[in-house]
Amino acid sequence: MIKTDILIIGAGPTGLFAVFEAGLLQLKCHLIDALPQAGGQCSEIYPKKPIYDIPGFPEVLAGDLVDNLMKQIEPFQPGFTLGERAETIEKLDDGSFVVTTNKGTKHQAPIVAIAGGLGSFEPRKPLLDNLRKYEDNGVAYMIKDPEVYRNKRVVIAGGGDSALDWSIFLADVASEVTLVHRRNEFRGALDSVEKVQQLKNEGKINLITPAEIVGLHGEDTLEAVSVRKTTNPDEVVTLEVDNFVPLFGLSPKLGPIADWGLEIEKNAIKVDTFDYQTNVPGIYAIGDVNTYPGKLKLILCGFHEATLMCQSAYQRIYPDKKYVMKYTTVGGVTGFDGSKKEAPKAVVKSIN
Ligand SMILES: Cc1cc2nc3c(=O)[nH]c(=O)nc-3n(C[C@H](O)[C@H](O)[C@H](O)COP(=O)(O)OP(=O)(O)OC[C@H]3O[C@@H](n4cnc5c(N)ncnc54)[C@H](O)[C@@H]3O)c2cc1C
């Protein structure tokens, strides 16, 4: 059981910044995210897009903002459970919550902060009868650790950046990489398309287009896939493989959190703007996942909500302690690793 002070569901910009604000109050955080990396929409949807409305940054790439947030929270040593979706919540007699993921990892905390954004990103799956049988037995919808594919025969399906980028990357890791796409044209970055073409010419990637996977075979684990050329439906070839990775994109869904007994309005969780608490005391909702009159789905709003949420969480955990808010420029920042960013001595300007 992983124990922490604030369990944050969602490691997007809101969840990450909550770690910093909690850290200033000496509260420890652990984050769960269904994706294999932190950053939420910024990392998954638009890492290379500039953002112009982060205070103090006239322009920052979404991916760089996430890198900066990760650096900012480093001193507070947050824990991460990545690539797992928070599935169920249970309230214990002592008032704390236990959140269990789809992989069975259990987390306990007196405070749960849902920073789930648009919801957990669920993979779009191909329509194949026996797909479920091979999930985690040769079929995966995201690549968490490329080393899993070392010296393996891998078939990737898809036509976007993920399919292209992973095909390129795995060309040096796997023993055989086959990329299957139902069109001849790819949707990804032009230089990635060119690189795949070059690797194909060098014999490092097998490219089959326009085609689709129509069958999966194997006793218990995946052993082969059937590929059909869409220009000639009668032409079906069977490839012996170890892994099949369909990368058809991810679509966000509020998912299991919708069944946690929280008040939901238009697919978002209703909160009190006093402290962004939900109708269940001890469970907060911050960032894109919440709703209240005047709500704006912006990163800076998520940062504000995370800040007020942490203050309220502190009072819930330590009802008898009086917290006096200090600016970081006055109190400095003391990390859990003992690192210190000291506040400079006050500069007093003489008036005569
Ligand atoms: C193309 C695009 C451009 C944008 N441009 C701007 C901009 O210029 N300025 C701006 O301020 N905003 C912009 N936004 C909006 C901004 O990205 C969001 O407001 C912001 O990402 C919200 O952050 P968040 O942390 O609340 O949620 P998200 O970034 O959505 O992160 C939520 C995380 O929670 C995870 N999650 C959800 N449910 C679960 C679960 N059950 N278990 C585990 N994990 C879960 C998800 O996997 C996800 O990683 C843009 C959005 C898009 C799509």
pTM: 0.74
Q: Is there a single domain that holds both residue 238 and residue 279?
A: no
- Give 43 or 341, the one with higher predicted confidence: 43
Nearest CA, atom 15, ligand 1 = 298
Share of the chain above pLDDT 70, in %: 96
Distance CA 87, CA 329 (A): 40
Q: Is there a single domain that holds both residue 97 and residue 18?
A: yes
* Overall average pLDDT of the 279-291 stretch: 97
Q: Which residues sit with their C-beta closer than 6 Å to ligand 1?
A: 9-15, 32-35, 40-42, 45-46, 49, 51, 53, 85-86, 115-121, 255-257, 287-288, 297-300, 302
Q: Of the candidates 222, 246, 270, which is a domain's last residue?
A: 246
Q: Residue 166 is part of which domain span?
A: 125-246
Q: Is there a single domain that holds both residue 263 and residue 211?
A: no
pLDDT value for 343: 61
C-alpha 277 to ligand 1 mean position (Å) = 19
C-alpha 91 to ligand 1 mean position (Å) = 27
Q: Is there a single domain that holds both residue 181 and residue 262?
A: no
pLDDT at residue 352 greater than cutoff 60: no
Q: Is there a single domain that holds both residue 190 and residue 232?
A: yes
Q: What is the pLDDT of residues 77-93, one digit of tens each?
A: 999 999 899 999 999 99
- Give 239 or 338, the one with higher predicted confidence: 239
Nearest CA, atom 21, ligand 1 = 41
User: Per-residue confidence at 136, pLDDT binned at 50, 70, 90?
Assistant: confident
Q: Is there a single domain that holds both residue 131 and residue 238?
A: yes
pLDDT value for 338: 77
pLDDT at residue 265 greater than cutoff 80: yes
Q: Is there a single domain that holds both residue 197 and residue 109?
A: no
Q: Is there a single domain that holds both residue 102 and residue 56?
A: yes
Q: Is there a single domain that holds both residue 240 and residue 332?
A: no
- Of 42-56, 126-140, 298-312, the least confident: 42-56
C-alpha 11 to ligand 1 mean position (Å) = 9
pLDDT value for 350: 56
Within 13 Å, how many C-alpha atoms sit on residue 124's CB side? 9
Q: Is there a single domain that holds both residue 231 and residue 315?
A: no
How much is the mean pLDDT over the chain?
91
Within 13 Å, how many C-alpha atoms sit on residue 235's CB side? 9
- Of 202-211, 293-302, 326-335, the least confident: 326-335
- Counting the structural domains of the chain, the total is 2
Q: What is the pLDDT of residues 38-64, one digit of tens each?
A: 999 999 878 878 889 999 999 999 999
What CATH number is associated with residue 66? 3.50.50.60
pLDDT at residue 344 greater than cutoff 60: no
Say how many residues make up the chain.
Answer: 352
Q: Of the candidates 208, 224, 246, which is a domain's last residue?
A: 246
- Give 223 or 136, the one with higher predicted confidence: 223
User: Per-residue confidence at 232, pLDDT binned at 50, 70, 90?
Assistant: confident
The answer to whether the beta carbons of residues 304 and 285 sit under 8 Å apart is no
Q: Of the candidates 220, 246, 272, which is a domain's last residue?
A: 246
C-alpha 176 to ligand 1 mean position (Å) = 35
From 41, 44, 141, the mutation candidate for ligand 1 (largest count of ligand atoms within 8 A of CB) is 41
Q: Which atom of ligand 1 is nearest to the CA of 51?
A: 8
C-alpha 158 to ligand 1 mean position (Å) = 23
Distance CA 276, CA 280 (A): 11
Share of the chain above pLDDT 90, in %: 74
Q: What is the enclosing helix (H) or strand (E) of 192?
A: helix 190-201
Q: Is there a single domain that holds both residue 276 and residue 229?
A: no
From 2, 299, 301, 304, the mutation candidate for ligand 1 (largest count of ligand atoms within 8 A of CB) is 299
Q: Is there a single domain that holds both residue 225 and residue 322?
A: no
